[in-house]
Structure 1
Amino acid sequence: MRLLVTGAAGLLGSEVLRLAEHEVVPTYHTEPVPGGVRMDVRRRDEVDEVLRMVRPDGIIHAAFRQSDWATTADGPANIVAAARGARLVFVSSDVVFGGRPAPYDEHEPPCPVTPYGAAKAAAETAIRAIDPSAVIARTSLIVGYDGRSSHERFVHALAAGQPGSLFTANVRCPVHVTDLATALLELLTSDFSGTAHVAGPEAANRLELGRLIAIRDGLDADALAESPGSPSEIRLDGERTQKLLSTRLRPVSEFLRPSRRP
């Protein structure tokens, strides 16, 4: 299989490249990737040209930009329109939901309350309409093992004395980048179509997550400031998806144990 990976310079895209056993063609927009092809997903003509050149059998679309509708919403529509039968796995987000105490399962329709969530929801709609056989993989907060994720960087900055706080009312289902990348590659070669929830099975608020990161990395967890923040509880119920996968999606309290690395 020839696999095209968008957003290959990012945390998730680079992990997919590291783990993939296929022939991989990485694409990037701003930060070059060795052996990669530059592609602006916002430009339909450029996407079409790159996909004609690469002729991938599969695509993992991980590129996004939270503050840019064109990248996050129009980009996936351009990808699926140019895919020409290539197997597509699109990485979506839990923020297609607005938040509530009860978990959201894979069958529930999006109800976003933020511009980024609305962009991801629009991308999901376009992909379902154009290619019902595609996989829409919703995930949550992605945590790495080398300090590259935004959550890890923020915790390190707070522990070093920079201003800021971690919200106790913001609850999500963190997932390890290796677990997520492995699951996406498994979904790529499966017969599954539709929506999958690829997030950790254990919920944590931002402060809890920050303390786990600090302890793992040998930082002072007590130095982390906290505040309630705006209430936002988004729990993804991934029980159905986990039954489809041989990849085990680990709980955050397990993969953030001190001195653990895949």
Structure 2
Amino acid sequence: MRCAEKDHDVVPAYHSQRVPGGVQLDVRRRDEVRDVIRAVRPDGIIHTAYKQDDWATTALGAVNVALEADGARVVFVSTDAVFGHRGTPYDEDELPCPITPYGAAKAAAETAIRAIVPGAVIARTSLIIGSDGLSEEEQRVRRLAAGEPGAFYTENIRCPVHVTDLASALLELLASDVNGITHVAGPEALSRLELGRLIAIRDGFDPDLLPAVPGEPSDIRLDSRQTQSVLKTHVRPATEFLAGRTVG
């Protein structure tokens, strides 16, 4: 765990799937948030909880954490989905323009957190990829390579980030004096198909087995250069962190 590696005492929170050493928490309930924060008394909070089809979890849950933070440093993990399709990258100074309910919920959470906790960090990121095959994109590669229905979109473009790079960057931001909007995404824009093919090659699958369709155009790129300039963490491009076979 990245926090442990950096000598932080960590108390993970979970909703339904138990985590060793963690505390159960429903962020939709402000009383539970208050009780947990009073019991743990954290110096910092990295808030990642979301559910794409649930406004209460994604938006109100984040508001509850901000309202009950009790002086703790807050880093809120947001998303590129606060923006809509555009052919040029978005930088940290641009206002949200979501086109999906999930993006709208995250944008609402960003706005509320900045008003409630002015010193908070809003860390927008993109597709998160691991090295253990458990991320959504990695699992999709396995399913489609096995012949299950579905396809990768060639017109859906994002800036993938490796989970360890993201975790290190979030810890850096937590300990820093940075506040406001940050972008923590990979420096390389790829289509879902290009990303899927890289994952397939890494994992020993034939990338030509992955079906592809254009899909609805959705080009959402985060320009993370401003944030990267203040970070020691090197946020790698997908072609770098997916090089080589790490999952059988």
TM-score, length basis structure 1: 0.92
- Taking a change above 3 Å as real, the CA distance of residues 75 and 116 of structure 1, as seen in their structure-2 partners, is same
Q: Could you list the per-position Cα deviations for residues 71-127 of structure 1 after superposition, in whole angstroms to 9, with x for gaps in the alignment?
A: 000011000100011000000000000120110000001000000000000000110
Distance in 2 between the 1:134 and 1:97 partners?
20
Whether the 8 Å contact between 1:19 and 1:181 is mirrored in structure 2 is no
Out of 74, 81, 95, the position equivalent to 2:67 is 81
Amino acid paired to 2:240: E
Residue correspondences, number: 247
Out of 45, 48, 51, the position equivalent to 1:65 is 51
Matched, 1:31 2:31: no
What's 1:95 paired with? Answer: 81
Amino acid paired to 1:193: N
- Taking a change above 3 Å as real, the CA distance of residues 30 and 227 of structure 1, as seen in their structure-2 partners, is same
What's 1:4 paired with? Answer: none
Distance in 1 between the 2:27 and 2:114 partners?
18
Which structure 2 segments of 5+ residues have no match? none
Which structure 1 segments of 5+ residues have no match? 1-14
CA RMSD of aligned residues (A): 1.1
Q: Equivalent pairs: percent with the same residue?
A: 65
- Taking a change above 3 Å as real, the CA distance of residues 41 and 16 of structure 1, as seen in their structure-2 partners, is farther
Amino acid paired to 2:83: F
Whether the 8 Å contact between 2:203 and 2:246 is mirrored in structure 1 is no
Out of 161, 166, 176, the position equivalent to 1:175 is 161
Distance in 2 between the 1:132 and 1:68 partners?
25
Residue 132 (structure 1) shift: 1.0
Out of 107, 118, 135, the position equivalent to 2:121 is 135
Distance in 1 between the 2:220 and 2:2 partners?
25
Matched, 1:242 2:228: yes
What's 2:96 paired with? Answer: 110
Residue 258 (structure 1) shift: 1.6
Runs of 4+ in structure 1 over 2 Å off = 15-21
Residue 21 (structure 1) shift: 2.4
Residue 19 (structure 1) shift: 4.5
What's 1:12 paired with? Answer: none
What's 1:255 paired with? Answer: 241
Distance in 2 between the 1:245 and 1:239 partners?
10
What's 1:9 paired with? Answer: none
SS class of match (2:53): coil
Matched, 1:230 2:216: yes
Distance in 1 between the 2:139 and 2:49 partners?
20
- Taking a change above 3 Å as real, the CA distance of residues 227 and 77 of structure 1, as seen in their structure-2 partners, is same
SS class of match (1:137): strand
- Taking a change above 3 Å as real, the CA distance of residues 188 and 71 of structure 1, as seen in their structure-2 partners, is same
Amino acid paired to 2:94: E
Out of 138, 141, 159, the position equivalent to 1:152 is 138
Distance in 1 between the 2:126 and 2:241 partners?
15
Distance in 1 between the 2:85 and 2:27 partners?
29
Residue 69 (structure 1) shift: 0.5
Distance in 2 between the 1:228 and 1:17 partners?
40
What's 2:42 paired with? Answer: 56
Amino acid paired to 2:162: H
SS class of match (2:36): helix
Out of 194, 201, 211, the position equivalent to 1:208 is 194
Distance in 2 between the 1:73 and 1:21 partners?
31
Amino acid paired to 1:46: E
Distance in 1 between the 2:85 and 2:173 partners?
26
Distance in 2 between the 1:19 and 1:164 partners?
39
Amino acid paired to 2:144: L
